[in-house]
């Protein structure tokens, strides 16, 4: 039975350009979207850019540009980066989009009708980099834990959202729906923090202008996090997409976004009378060649640069195979390790199997027979692993089967026996493997499918050229 599958990524801040840390999440989302399409599900895959807030306003000033001109330019760079990696999204939401601004205004009015918004004054310690307030308990040294910069003391009139009202609802919901916060380690962190109590959330600003006008008071702009979270809902308000909201909906986020998405977002949705998503998955960070990815360090390497150097599928494969996404652990994007996997797994194992089989099939032809070799491909297990976000393990199973195929060709020696039925078994196994690999390495998968599309097979070109290491 066809199901609807809705998957989103974080919408990235446009104060800086895309890097491999952003790309990792988009690659995973693309795999899950493609996999669900392969299963016959209807899929909506949404990504985008977060374009409001003081941080963006400051970045535009630094670049001596109007904020809209600035966000237009940077947003385009994110689109180009995802195109280079074959990220096949359905909608790229920009928080400056007119339909998003309309949905935000309607959402806020629903929360007000519930009695959850009130005017007050706020003073607190603020980090512009995080666009978030911190307490002295969070930061006793008054330094932002993420940006390592002193926190600013800010006092202003603000509208509040009654977050404190939803403490019991959230704790009950987490208990009843353990799949709501994944992985489990992140869920335990959030539960412990929510148990300590929740403060009402300041949801407007008056100290800068670059934001969505607050519909209840035009002197205020909407706090960037209250605006940005609603993008996931915005994408489903288009005609024909309304049924995608709800289950199964998966939000993929970096672990630094866990609090906003697992506390603010469900409370906001409950207040507005909107169904909650099924899963918020909070994954780990990537470093690059052993260093934290940082604009100031100058190592925030563009995905386009990596694709030009290694090819889209090698970058995708490495990200998916190297890092255990499901655990939420951090990982290091090592170019040395990428080259090793490219040469050993993509070139030597997959590339070699396709090259040898296609050359022999062209020379001797194939003849239908039993598919005993194909029976060793653990399709159900691979499917379960992908559905459980264990993408590295799924690829491990696929390449274990590729190893079996390479052993089979070596033991049967069709170059000596000219056995057409042996070659048929190999061809059928490669065809099926290419189908599954389409979710992970689509460009290569399409090339393989084209080579083996008909029973009249021609020898393939080299799929993966070896990368020389100095």
Q: How far apart are CA 27 and CA 252, in angstroms?
A: 11
Residue in 127, 251, 261, 393 annotated catalytic: 127
Residue 22 designated active-site = yes
Residue in 292, 363, 368, 458 annotated catalytic: 292
* Cα distances (angstroms) measured from residue 250 to each of 45, 175, 181, 277, 435: 10, 18, 10, 7, 24
List the alpha helices (DSSP H) in 85-147. 98-113
Residue 270 designated active-site = no
Residue in 61, 153, 177, 295 annotated catalytic: 295
Q: Characterize the bridge pairing of strands 286-288 and 42-50.
A: unpaired
Q: Characterize the bridge pairing of strands 201-202 and 152-161.
A: antiparallel
Q: How far apart are CA 6 and CA 24, in angstroms?
A: 19
Residue 144 designated active-site = yes
Q: What are the start-end ranges of the E strands in 196-243?
A: 201-202, 204-205, 221-222
DSSP string, 315-381: HHHHHHHHS-GGGT--EEE-HHHHHHHIIIIIIIIIIHHHHHHHHHHHHH-------TTGGGS-HHH
Residue 295 designated active-site = yes
List the alpha helices (DSSP H) in 39-66. 54-62
Of the candidates 342, 340, 352, 287, which has an alpha carbon nearest to the alpha carbon of residue 310? 342
The residue count of the chain comes to 470
Q: Assign residue 40 a region (left: φ > 0; alpha: ψ between -120 and 50; beta: otherwise).
A: left
Residue 52 designated active-site = no
Residue in 52, 55, 130, 342 annotated catalytic: 130
* Cα distances (angstroms) measured from residue 334 to each of 111, 251, 282, 420: 46, 27, 22, 43
Residue 405 designated active-site = no
Residue in 147, 199, 238, 450 annotated catalytic: 147
Helix axes 442-451, 420-437, angle to 10 degrees: 150
Q: What is the 3-state secondary structure (H, E, C) of 379-407?
A: HHHHHHHHHCCCHHHHHHHHHHHHHHHHH
* Burial bucket for residue 446 (CB in 10 Å: 0-12, 13-18, 19+): middle
Residue 100 designated active-site = no
List the alpha helices (DSSP H) in 114-176. 167-176
Q: 273 in helix, strand or coil?
A: coil
Q: Characterize the bridge pairing of strands 249-254 and 4-9.
A: parallel
Of the candidates 78, 68, 74, 92, which has an alpha carbon nearest to the alpha carbon of residue 22? 78
Residue 127 designated active-site = yes
Catalytic positions are: 19, 22, 127, 130, 144, 147, 292, 295
């Amino acid at each position: 039975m066809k199901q609807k599958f809705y998957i989103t990524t974080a919408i990235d801040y446009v104060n800086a350009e895309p890097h491999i840390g952003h790309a990792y999440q988009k690659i995973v989302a693309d795999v899950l979207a493609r996999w669900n399409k392969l299963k016959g599900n209807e899929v909506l895959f949404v990504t985008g850019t977060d374009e409001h807030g003081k941080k963006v306003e400051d970045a535009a000033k630094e670049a001596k540009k109007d904020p809209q001109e600035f966000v237009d330019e940077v947003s385009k760079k994110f689109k180009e980066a995802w195109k280079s990696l074959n990220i096949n999204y359905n909608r790229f939401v920009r928080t400056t989009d007119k339909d998003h601004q309309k949905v935000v205004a309607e959402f806020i009015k629903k929360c007000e009708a519930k009695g959850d918004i009130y005017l007050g004054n706020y003073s607190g310690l603020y980090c512009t980099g995080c666009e978030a307030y911190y307490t002295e308990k969070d930061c006793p040294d008054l330094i932002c834990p993420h940006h390592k910069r002193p926190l600013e003391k800010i006092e202003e009139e603000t509208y509040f959202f009654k977050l404190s009202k939803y403490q019991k609802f959230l704790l009950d919901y987490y208990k009843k729906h353990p799949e709501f916060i994944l992985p489990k380690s992140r869920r335990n962190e959030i539960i412990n923090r929510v148990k300590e109590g929740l403060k009402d959330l300041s949801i407007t600003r008056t100290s800068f202008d670059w934001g969505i006008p607050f519909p209840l008071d035009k002197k205020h702009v909407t706090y960037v996090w209250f605006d940005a979270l609603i993008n996931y809902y915005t994408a489903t308000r288009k005609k024909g997409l309304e049924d995608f909201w709800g289950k199964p909906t998966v939000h993929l986020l970096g672990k630094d976004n866990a609090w906003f998405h697992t506390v603010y977002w469900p409370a906001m949705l409950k207040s507005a009378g909107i169904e909650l998503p099924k899963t918020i998955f909070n994954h780990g960070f990537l470093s690059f060649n052993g260093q934290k990815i940082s604009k100031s360090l100058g190592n925030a390497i563009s995905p386009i640069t990596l694709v030009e150097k290694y090819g889209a599928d090698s970058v995708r494969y490495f990200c998916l195979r190297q890092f255990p996404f499901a655990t939420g652990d951090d990982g290091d994007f090592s170019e040395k390790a990428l080259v090793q996997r490219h040469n050993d797994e993509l070139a030597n194992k997959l590339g070699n199997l396709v090259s040898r089989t296609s050359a022999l099939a062209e020379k001797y032809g194939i003849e239908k027979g039993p598919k005993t070799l194909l029976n060793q491909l653990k399709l159900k297990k691979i499917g379960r692993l992908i559905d459980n976000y264990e993408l590295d393990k799924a690829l491990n199973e696929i390449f274990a089967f590729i190893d079996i195929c390479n052993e089979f060709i070596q033991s049967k020696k069709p170059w000596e026996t000219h056995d057409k039925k042996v070659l048929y078994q190999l061809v059928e196994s490669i065809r099926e493997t290419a189908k599954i690999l389409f979710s992970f390495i689509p460009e290569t998968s399409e090339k393989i499918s084209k080579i083996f599309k008909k029973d009249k097979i021609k020898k393939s070109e080299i799929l993966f050229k070896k990368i020389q290491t100095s």
